[in-house]
Structure 1
Amino acid sequence: MDLSTLTGESVPVHLQTQQAASSGPIVEAIDIVFSGTNVVGGDGRAVVFATGMHTELGHIASLSQRVGHDESPLEHQVKRVAWLIAAVAVGMGIAFIPLGTALAGLSLHDSVNFAIGLLVANVPEGLLPTITLALALGVRILARSGALVKRISAVETLGSTMVICTDKTGTLTQNRMTDTQMWTPDGVVSPPSDAPPSESVRTAAQAMVDCCTATIDVDESGQVIEFGDPTELALLRAASSFGVPPPHAGESDDGRRSFAFDPALRRMSTIVPTGDAARVNVKGAPEEVLQRCTSIAGRRLSGDDHAALRELIARWAGQGLRLLAVASRSLDGALIQTIDRDDAEQDLTLDGIVAMMDPPRPGVRDAVAVCHRAGIRIMVVTGDHALTARGIAEGVGIGAHRGLEVITGPDLDAMPENQLDEILGHTTELVFARTSPEAKLRITDALRDLGEVVAMTDDGVNDAPALRRSDIGVAMGRNGTDVAREAATMVLTDDNFATIVTAVAAGRRVYDNVRKFIVYIFAHATPEVVPFLMYALFLGTLWEGGWRFGDSVSSGPLHDTWELATTMTFLGIVACQFGTAMASRTQRASLRSIGVTSNRLLLWGFLFEIVFVIVVITVPPLQSLSGTTTPPVHLLIWLLPMPFVVWGADELYRWMRRRRDSPAHSPTPPAEPGH
């Protein structure tokens, strides 16, 4: 059975009836077939004892229903900011009414009008549409990169991601077993090979083909059709590269006899007629096959041979490779139908040891390195074996700089919450192997409780609860299950971990742009409010024009002076906003380092605003509509330094911050005694 949708393990599991009940998780039982999994070989009958929500799929579905999506960090922060803005704006508006009447001598009617204007000046009316447009643009960029986002706020969440919990099978790897190398008495070879295979290589390849139930065919259109166990298919592809063709569907068995794979013996064998004789072919776990071998390359197996082979097996297994040994022997043809299994699988000649793996996806190692440079921790959470998971993780660079620790499912189940929090709080990267759906959910909850923004990537049915609980769940679009895609926030159309990194980078760009605009929005409230207050409370331009307390400015001889004052206030706000926009482009670096003219769209925006302002203050119909007038040149000159004052003040602040944080100005710790 292929149980990858439930366990995440790419290697099929052999199931058979047994009398003694096994202990441990139910998904590890070897006598239970689960709904939602696939048969890849063999046959049998089963008794249905659970349906619907009582199945393992139903149990996982109930876990998914108990968790829901929370607000993204941006949604939460925008709500808080909205309430803060409302409180400040209303508070300033109410406070202005008595100040305006008492200090500036305005009537109650004018004070209320000014209070309303102050409210408007404090409201960041462009905040929500700009955030929405920035996120929508991020969604479009992600879609072009192979990532489909269901919730627009997920783009910002991606940019805030600090931990990526990723599955192994199908995400870091290709979910396709491949032979990486093969040991034979002549040495180690790696398929595919352009060199002509030696006799020992062809012998091992023939044993791999003969001891196999899988088939590889080519249809009329040239499409390759593979059927059978992924491990056997990997052996057939390797044998084909060495010049031994694979078997085809429907080919006659020619009187061959098979002993099926036995999980207790950890091996299988076939007996293939060869004229008047026959050949026994055996494949299985190296330690099981090796103890039944007595010869190698035409000579007896020695103690040194056993030691060298055990060292090779330990080294390859430590790399996370799956190993199979193949062996064979000649047999009298008359014994094909009468010999028993134990006698057939004796006095074997060791032909080869094959190392297989589910290879990493192209580009995953580079993507992991990008995550590390961005300060993102990666954790592998998989149902696969610990050695295999560790080998893949180390092979793609996970743990290369932070160190790597492996925790198995039973160890995690026995671990108290405070110990798990302590482990997750370290900077070490982790591999969680043989994990259950409950364990994945527990890991996600623990990380979020520690304040981490978590992205969970998975493709199986068992991953749905954790996908829903994480800050952003990422499902596979090609090989992922419908349940996982439904529970996730983002779906990868190419099932590639590298696409996740591209999505995080796009999310960070969007987040950075949103942050800059929020800074601009709140910073430009100052150049809007201060000139407004100065005008309302002190009315200094008006005073020069002959205004005194109690005089009306909306009509009469001071009307022209009032229009000039409001026009200059408006122009002062615009000029200061130019400086605020330039200052908001960077948080720490100097503007010169990123280029004053590098943002061409912003410069075009400046040009548009200047043209618009000129039209508003010079075209008579618009002057009448907006209550503006054309100021004299000597007043316009006062506007020129305003953007540079705002911009320069921020440049000075950033320079002082860089100087304070630079290593040269950091305090030197005192030397230890004796140094």
Structure 2
Amino acid sequence: MKPEPGRSGTATVREDGPPNDAELPGTGPSPVGGPEPSALSVPALTAPEVFAALNGSPRGLSAAEASARQTRYGPNELPGVGRGHVWRRLAAQFTDLFAVVLLVSSLITFLAYTLEEPRDPATLQLALAILGVVLLNAGIGFAQEYSAERTAESLQAMVPHTCRVLRDGEPQELPARELVPGDLVLLEAGDAVSADCRLVEAHDVAVNNAALTGESDAVARVADPVPDGPALEARNCVFMGTDVVAGTGRAVVCAIGTATEFGRIFRLTAEAPRQQTPLQRQVAAMARRVAGVALATGALLFAIRAPGGQPFVDTFVFSLGVMVALVPEGLPATLSVSLAIGVRRMARKHALVKQLLAVEALGSTSVVCTDKTGTLTQAEMTVVQLWAGGVAHAVSGVGYGPVGEVADAGAVRELLRTAALCSNARLVPPAGREGWRVLGDTTEGALLVAAGKAGLDPAEEEARTPRVAEYPFDSDRKLMSTVHRDGDDTYVACVKGAPLELLARCDAVEWEGARAPLTDALRDRVVAAADGMAAEGLRVLAVARRQVAGAHPALGDVESGLTLLGLTGMYDPPRPEVRDAVDACRRAGIRIVMVTGDHPLTAEAVARRVGIVRGPAPSVATGAQLDALDDAGLDALLADSAELLLCRVSPEHKMRVVTAFQRRGEVVAVTGDGANDAPALKHADIGVAMGASGTDVAREAAVMVLLDDSFASISTAVGLGRSVYRNIRKFLIYLFSHNIAELAPILAATFAGFPLVPITAVQVLAIDLGSDVLPALALGAEPMERDVMDSPPRPRRERLFSASVMGRILFLGGIQAIGVCAVFFWHIHASGIPYADFTKTDPVYREAITMVQAGIVVSQFFNALAVRTDRQSVFRVGLLSNPWLLAAGGFGIGLMAAISYAPPLQAVFDTAPLAPADWAVLTGFGALLLAAEELRKWVLRRRVAAPKGETR
């Protein structure tokens, strides 16, 4: 991974002042990360110059100086994110447009009640009922959506709580927050790094920078000066949030808190905005349209009725009732709870979704930008092939557990023994919930595991052949050598490293069980074997040995005249379930792009193994190449590359790529497990973090966490997300179709000159909350359909209310409207009473409005059955296949019966008891609706030939 060009991220010293006056980076002086770079940079200094530049000392700081610097620079910690107060989060629930419309309606209704003479209790009941609806929706939304933003706290949690420093020449263990620039930190294998530091003493130090760079390999660190350049490429620096996996050393702190490279990622994550999901955008647009239609319709009816001599307040309350009838009061609560059902289903599939709306957004995902290490692979280096004497030996088993076999282990026993002796790693057996793990370099750990599979015990071999000298690996030699006592006065050198470098130092080879001269022909065969293993995406190490004179020979004597023992090939194995998951995403039309900090060759090898790359020449771009592209060039790269791998990328690169995809109209999911992934995880439409192996900051920045770290869970979650979207459309058709049935009799009565409303606002609220919510929830719980992953993702700009959805709403709502208007006017006309003589207390009028409410409730029961499928007959699916829907419909009808027959509820709703014949008529209209919808589906099936058979 490369950071932004020109950034060093380490302390600098100015040329125009003494070291004492140098501006040191810390949390105080600069919120951006320290002073401007000058000509003299810490990585380029010698150790004495580092102490001088940072006003430090080989004995460490004095206690007084450390205290003064802590006052000046502040604590070594990342600032917490300001959490919104609970009351603010609750207040946000009332900013939804539906809530605003209903609150205003409730307030106006209450004012109308105060202006009435005499005051009508029904008006007050309406005001309180509307307010109750708003409070109920807000409570459900608050309960479902309340979750604290803990990204910054998780970043802080990754910083170790204590560290070892030298103060006044004495080692001390201090809280990490008390570190200051200039402190001398003591490091050893297993330590977490507490600040950005410049090494001044290093003995075989190697660090794991995966949390910052995404690279899985441990990288060697040195204390020598290196040329100035990007901070993360400085081989003599270590950084906050990383781990020391091997060696010991001393380092001078040169950046703390937000001035560190880790702090830079903190700022990127904090500044990255949360993206609205497609459903959020569509629901917001729908709310604006519905609210506009409701207000316009209410105003129109008020304008029509007001000149007719009706009392002003009555006319106003009537118009308000029309508005209430058009606003789907139960939709916010239904939507929240239905999404929560999807969350629970995903949790059972090991995908934890932290934001409800993200459930639906998963269903519209069109691009997955996936990390490699820990996401597609198991993050455990494994030796899979050995080569010795011209013969390849397969090694079975994956991971750090010594379970597996080496083919013909006797032939490679000495090869593995030598490789194990020339290693500093240590295998740690399972403890508690942790399995086998490696302390130290993972490559060396893989060699120890392979030795164990061949029947060797590395600890016993080390005890029998103790180490007396070591020549650490460095990037110039590309070799590591150790010297061991092999008898009383016999010493043997064990060497491992890059094949070509080691081969150049060999003059013999173990061939068919005997030592043979390394001829040009044999040398070519070794090179061909190494190239073949590398072409398979394996990391190849060569192993050699020789007898040496004395315990401490010169390096030139150790690494010359060697006898080649063979080659080892290892890789980080892909997760076994990933290939099937990638295939499922391909079938679903989802594009997968690998975005990693690893080397391009390693990335391509893994991509081919899991099926992301199948063609001969995928497009591969590095971070440096992305820097050279402007936005138009990046858009062209993303558009023209069917198979794309982005390697050696930084957090800024990941965010830029995500933004570019979003600019092209894609819905982007990003996977990752390291702190370096957090900004992109937060900026993406869907951030997906690894739950088991991921860092806390990645888990908190993401909206979905894979509890089993399985990429396969992503495809399952996408399928569930698509199913949720389909179910949402089903219950939207269900909810909005009855709004037409509520509005139609009001409009018909207005234009027919009937002085009273055929259905009151309180009755409308009773239908919307008492009879509609539970069936809508049951529709939201419909199981996932078999063909859900066999179609491409819907376009980002596709409307929730498409032409087909609106057509079904009008069709079903129109049938319901005809039915309820018919029963109302039939009942009114059958009484023989003129329109002008009707009053609110008239028993016939109360029976008629009861018929309207019951007609809507009964027809909605049949409507719920009808909308379960788009084209297939509901009878083929099975009327009893969703028992919750039947129970919810039965509850709604039972509640309606209570409203009709229970005297206390009759008083609230102004209803009257219905006769059995009335219920029979209403049931007939409901059955007619279901029959009409079945006929529509039959016609559709006849017209549209389904290539894969009928689908729901």
- TM bucket normalised to smaller: 0.7 to 0.9
Cross-structure match for 1:281: 494
**Inter-partner Cα distance in structure 2 for 1:624 and 1:434:** 73
CA distance in 2, matches of 1:593, 1:525: 29
Letter in 2 for 1:151: Q
User: Residues 39 and 255 of structure 1: is their aligned pair in 2 closer, same or farther, counting only changes over 3 Å?
Assistant: closer
Residues 658, 381 of structure 1: CA spacing in aligned structure 2 closer, same or farther, 3 A cutoff?
farther
Q: Report the secondary structure of 1:283's partner residue.
A: strand
Provide the secondary structure at the position in 1 that maps to 2:570.
strand
Please state if 1:425 is matched with 2:636. Answer: no
Q: Structure 2 unaligned segments of length 5 or more: list them.
A: 1-206, 397-403, 755-824, 948-952
Shift of 1:61: 2.0
Is the aligned partner of 1:243 residue 2:466? no
Distance of 1:658 and 1:225 partners within structure 2: 58
Moved more, 185-194 or 175-184: 185-194
**Range moving further from structure 2, 175-184 or 52-61:** 52-61
Report deviation, 1:69.
1.5
SS in 2 for 1:182: strand
Alpha carbons of structure 1 residues 216 and 619: separation in structure 2 relative to 1, 3 Å: closer
Question: What is the Cα deviation at residue 201 of structure 1?
Answer: 1.0
2:838 aligned partner: 552
Equivalent residue, structure 2, for 1:205: 416
Residue 29 (structure 1) aligns with: 234
3-state SS of 1:370 partner:
helix
2:537/2:602 contact within 8 Å kept: yes
Q: Which runs of 5+ in 1 are unaligned?
A: 665-675
- CA gap of 1:102–1:645, structure 2 versus 1, over 3 A, is farther
Judged with a 3 Å threshold, the aligned counterparts in structure 2 of structure 1 residues 663 and 301 are, in CA distance, closer, same or farther, namely farther
Structure 2 letter corresponding to 1:627 = D
Answering whether residue 55 of structure 2 is matched by residue 55 of structure 1, we say no
Q: How many angstroms does 1:386 deviate by?
A: 1.0
Residue-by-residue CA offset, 1:330-382 (whole Å, 9 max, x unaligned): x25x34433x2233323333222111111122422232233233332222211
Distance 1:47 1:75 in 2: 49
Residue 265 of structure 1 aligns with which residue?
477
Calculate the aligned-residue CA RMSD, in Å.
Answer: 3.3
Report the counterpart of residue 672 of structure 1 in structure 2. none
Q: How does 1:351-390 map to 2 (within 5 A)?
A: 351-390=565-604
* Equivalent residue runs for 1:318-397 within 5 Å: 318-329=535-546, 331-332=547-548, 334-338=549-553, 340-397=554-611
Q: Which residue pairs with 2:334 in the alignment?
A: 130
Compared CA separation, residues 126 and 35, structure 1 to 2 (3 A): same
Instruction: Between 405-414 and 624-633, report the one with greater CA deviation.
Output: 624-633
Shift of residue 176 of structure 1? 1.4
Pairing of 1:601-620 with structure 2 (within 5 A):
601-618=884-901
Contact 2:226 2:235 in 1 (8 A): no
Q: Is the Cα contact below 8 Å between 2:507 and 2:563 reproduced in 1?
A: yes
CA shift, 1:320, in A, is: 2.3
Contact 2:594/2:646, CA 8 A, preserved across alignment: yes
Q: How has the CA–CA distance of structure 1 residues 54 and 613 changed in structure 2, closer, same or farther, with 3 Å as cutoff?
A: closer
Identical aligned residues as a percent: 41
> What does the per-residue CA deviation read over 1:574-599, in whole Å, with 9 as the maximum and x for residues that have no partner?
23323432233234544355434322
* 1:458-516 alpha-carbon deviations (Å, 9 max, x no partner): 22222222122112323333333333333333334433323333433443333333332
Structure 2 Cα separation of the partners of residues 223 and 383 of structure 1:
26
Among candidates 28, 33, 45, match of residue 250 of structure 2: 45
Matches within 5 A, 1:201-600: 201-216=412-427, 226-247=438-459, 254=466, 256-275=468-487, 276-296=489-509, 297=511, 298-329=515-546, 331-332=547-548, 334-338=549-553, 340-400=554-614, 404-425=618-639, 428-538=642-752, 540-541=825-826, 542-555=828-841, 559-592=842-875, 594-600=877-883
Does residue 188 in structure 1 map to residue 405 in structure 2? no
Greater shift in the superposed pair: 211-220 or 605-614: 211-220
The answer on 1:121 being equivalent to 2:335 is no
- Cα separation, 2, equivalents of 1:637 and 1:62: 67
SS at match of 1:279: strand
1:131 deviates by 1.2
User: What is the one-letter code of the residue matched to 1:567?
Assistant: T
The TM-score with structure 1 as length reference comes to 0.88
The 1-side partners of 2:380 and 2:306 are apart by 79
Q: How far off its partner does 1:630 sit?
A: 4.5
SS in 1 for 2:736: helix
Letter in 1 for 2:277: S
How far apart are the structure 1 equivalents of 2:362 and 2:899?
Answer: 42
Relative contact order higher in (CA < 8 Å, ≥ 6 apart): 1
**TM-score, normalising length: structure 2:** 0.64
Counterparts in 2 of 1:176 and 1:166: CA distance versus 1, 3 Å: same
Q: Which amino acid aligns with 1:203?
A: E
- Report the AA paired with residue 291 of structure 2: A
Structure 2 vs 1, CA of residues 378 and 655 (structure 1 numbering), >3 Å: closer, same or farther?
Answer: farther
CA separation of 1:112 and 1:58: change in aligned 2, threshold 3 A: closer
In structure 1, C-alpha distance between the alignment counterparts of 2:630 and 2:933, rounded to whole Å: 49
d(CA) in 2 for partners of 1:399, 1:662 = 35
Q: How many residues align?
A: 657
Larger mean CA deviation between 544-553 and 212-221 belongs to 212-221
Partner of 1:153: 357
Question: Residues of 1 paired with 2:862 and 2:435: CA distance?
Answer: 63
Residues 476 and 493, structure 1, Cα contact 8 Å, conserved in 2 = yes
1-structure distance, mates of 2:717, 2:348: 10
Indicate conservation of the 8 Å contact 1:217/1:249, yes or no. Answer: no
What is the match of residue 668 of structure 1? none
SS of the residue corresponding to residue 205 of structure 1 reads helix
Worse overlay, 584-593 or 600-609: 584-593
Q: Distance in 1 between matches of 2:486 and 2:214?
A: 41
1:298-343: CA deviation from partner (whole Å, max 9, x where unpaired): 33344444444434333332332211111223x25x34433x2233
1:411-448 deviation per Cα after TM superposition (whole angstroms, max 9, x unaligned):
22212211221332357242211101110111111112
Please report how far the alpha carbon of residue 7 of structure 1 lies from its aligned counterpart in structure 2 after TM superposition.
0.9
**One-letter amino acid matched to 2:730:** K
Letter of the 1:90 counterpart? L
Alpha-carbon distance in structure 2 between the residues aligned to 1:401 and 1:609: 57
Contact kept, 8 Å, 2:898 with 2:905, in 1: the verdict is: yes
Shift, 1:602, TM fit: 0.8
C-alpha distance 309-520 of structure 1, shift in aligned 2 (>3 A): farther
| Residues 1:385 and 1:255: Cα distance change in structure 2 (over 3 Å) | closer
After superposition, the Cα gap between the structure-2 partners of 1:639 and 1:5, relative to the gap in structure 1 and judged at 3 Å, is same
The letter of the residue matching 2:619 is E
Does the aligned pair in 2 maintain the 1:266–1:288 contact within 8 Å? Answer: yes
Deviation at 1:91, TM superposition (A): 1.4
For 1:550, the aligned partner's letter is A
Secondary structure of the structure 1 residue equivalent to 2:246: coil
